[in-house]
Amino acid sequence: MTTLEYFEKAGFPLNPDHNSGNPIGIGLAVNSSNRGLRSTAKDLLASAPNNLTVLTGSPVQRVVLEGKKAVGVESNGKKYLASKEVILSAGSLDTPKILMHSGIGPKAQLDQHRIPVVQDTPAIGQGLRDHLLLPLIHARPEGSVERAAFYQDPSAMASAFEQWKKDGTGPWTKFACAMPTGWFKLPSLVASAEFQALPVSEQEYLNHPTVPHYEIMTHLPIHYIVPGFPVPSMSYMCILVFLYNAQARGVVTLQSADPAVPLRFDPKFLGTPFDRRVAIEALRDADRVVRDPEGYARDTLATVAGPAGDTDEDYLEYWRNNVVSSWHMTGTAKMGKTEAEDVVVDNRFRVFGFEGLRVADMSVVPVLASGHLQAVAYLTGLTCAEKLIAEYGLA
């Protein structure tokens, strides 16, 4: 029985095309790859213009300001001056860090670290949103998992890599790529008191037929992605459960006046009654597959990672002990209207109160899309580029 058949037998809908406009249902994951080669943002540099210089090993510590005008950035003690503007694209964690070390951020926090305040912007570092996830891992009989022999044989992996370099085919185009993924609704969630306590606008959004409540992804080679993960054998199955539309908002804060010191981020996972209810119901729904004795569970030898039982307390305890970030972080320098108190940039990506300073990364995105965010990140950058092209007549 195939993985999709496991899910169909357990009553989950199938979806042959997640790009149809309706993601609900399980099917093969969409990959940003073609002819065996994954496409990434780095590909944009393949034919880079002559006036582009890329500096590696050069983290930006702060923006160089002349009053309320950004004139450059500082990296490793050296200043790089801008002819027109400074555009930060450091992500939902490092963009607020750079801004705060530049004196732009919540005044109380800057005062705490004796950073001179250029502008009190309370919203910087606030509003962090993310998709949280956890793994369900089960040992399977030796020989039942096709990839096991591949990952256990270094020579097979090396040979496959040579094949891939030659013509873009072979096992490396298959393992870790062909991962069934599904987005699902939870009727039990909608019926819960925690759901009914949400604002009506949020209930209406979550009830929209194409808005999922959680996601399942299967066949993740967790031993390869997380080296040293305690799987007793390569013959295992790993299912990821993602929690969507959490209501809690996290924070990003400084720990030191030294820009080299990592910041502290607290995503507030499971921070509201609704979030905890989604976590419980999502894991209970995933159990419809995992515990099916005539389907998935027929080939399960042992649970490597999973809840101890099937009560609300068992599910919530497993989340609390195993929850991790999916690194889908957004919202720490949010875009919005000038009069709003919880925003940092306007709809042209300009930091309020400053000249020549923009942010173009996921920190400005005011919503957390119900899916994986690669396309959202690309669209954010492209939208900012369109604004700049129009403003500076670059077309």
Say which amino acid occupies 121: T
The yes-or-no verdict on residue 230 having pLDDT over 90 is no
Strand partners, 242: 133, 215
Assess whether pLDDT exceeds 90 at residue 280: yes
The reply to whether 240 and 366 lie within a common domain is no
Does residue 176 share a domain with residue 140? yes
Note whether 191 and 295 are same-domain residues.
yes
The model's confidence at residue 343, banded by pLDDT at 50, 70 and 90, is very high
State yes or no: pLDDT of 31 exceeds 90: no
Look at 178 and 257; give whichever has higher pLDDT.
Answer: 257
Please, are residues 216 and 177 in contact by the beta-carbon 8 Å criterion?
Answer: no
What confidence score (pLDDT) does residue 249 get? 97
User: What is the CATH classification number for the domain harbouring 135?
Assistant: 3.30.560.10
- Residue 38 covered by a domain: no
Does residue 200 sit within a domain?
Answer: yes
pLDDT, residue 48, reads 79
For residues 344 and 361, membership in a common domain is answered with yes
Mean pLDDT of 110-115: 98
Q: Do residue 184 and residue 307 come from a single domain?
A: yes
Whether the pLDDT of residue 176 is over 70: the answer is no
Q: Which of 281, 300, 325 is the last residue of a domain?
A: 325
Indicate whether 262 belongs to any domain: no
Residue with tokens 């010191």: 261
> Do residue 317 and residue 334 come from a single domain?
no
Residue 228 pLDDT > 70, yes or no? yes
- Count of domains forming the chain: 2
With a cut of 90, say whether residue 170 has pLDDT above it. Answer: no
In a domain, 244, yes or no: yes
Query: What is the reported pLDDT for 11?
Result: 92
- Residues 204 and 291 occupy one common structural domain: yes
Q: Which domain holds residue 14?
A: 3-30+131-251+267-325
Q: In the structure encoding, which two tokens stand for residue 297, read together?
A: 């569970």
Domain membership flag for residue 261: no
pLDDT of 260 reads: 94
The percentage of the chain sitting over the pLDDT mark of 90, rounded to a whole number, equals 76
When comparing pLDDT for 106 and 151, which is higher?
106
25 phi/psi in degrees, rounded to 5? 115, 165
Residue type, 199: P
